[in-house]
Each structure stands twice: as C-alpha cells, then as structure tokens.
Amino acid sequence: MELFRRNWRDIGAVLVDLMMPQMDNAIASLREINPAVKLLASGTMSPDQLPAALRLPPEMFLPKPYQTAALLDALRTVLAGKSGQ
C-alpha cells in the first residue's frame, strides 16, 4: 500500500485478488488515496456475489481461472477507461 501511496500518479491500474484476506480494506485504502483508481479484480466468485463495498462493473472483474490473453484484454479495457467507473 505504501508503494501505491507514494507512486499513485504513475500507476495506471491495480490488479487485486479478491481471495486475499482483508481485500475490501485494501480496496477502500486504494480508493482513499486515489478515488479514481482503476481496478481490475480477480476471484472465483461472480461479480454479483461481491460484498456491496467491493461492487465493480462486470468489465472490471476477471473470473479465475483466466488465460493471459483474457488478463491483457481486461487490463486494456480498464486502462482505456471503458470500465464505467
């Protein structure tokens, strides 16, 4: 988190693994540092199963398992700002 805090202006997007403990707190912290942070979340659940605090547009969610091509496509979408954020 400290790395993001120091360099948020240079970070185009953040890939978060929703299976990691306390990820909801991490996402809240990222948004506190930069409310316009571009997130790409990954996990084994579907986007509608996410807690309300973590709700993301479907194009900002990458279900596991995924192929490298799917990750690159999702990152391109998020970085292009087509995320509906």
Every domain of the chain and the residues it spans: 2-79
**Rounded CA separation 26/20 (Å):** 10
Give the model's pLDDT for residue 21.
Answer: 79
Give the model's pLDDT for residue 48.
Answer: 73
**49-60 pLDDT tens trace:** 776 766 677 778
**37-50 pLDDT tens trace:** 999 989 888 767 77
Residues of the chain with pLDDT under 70: 47, 51, 53-55, 82-85
> Which CATH architecture best describes the domain 2-79?
3-Layer(aba) Sandwich (3.40)
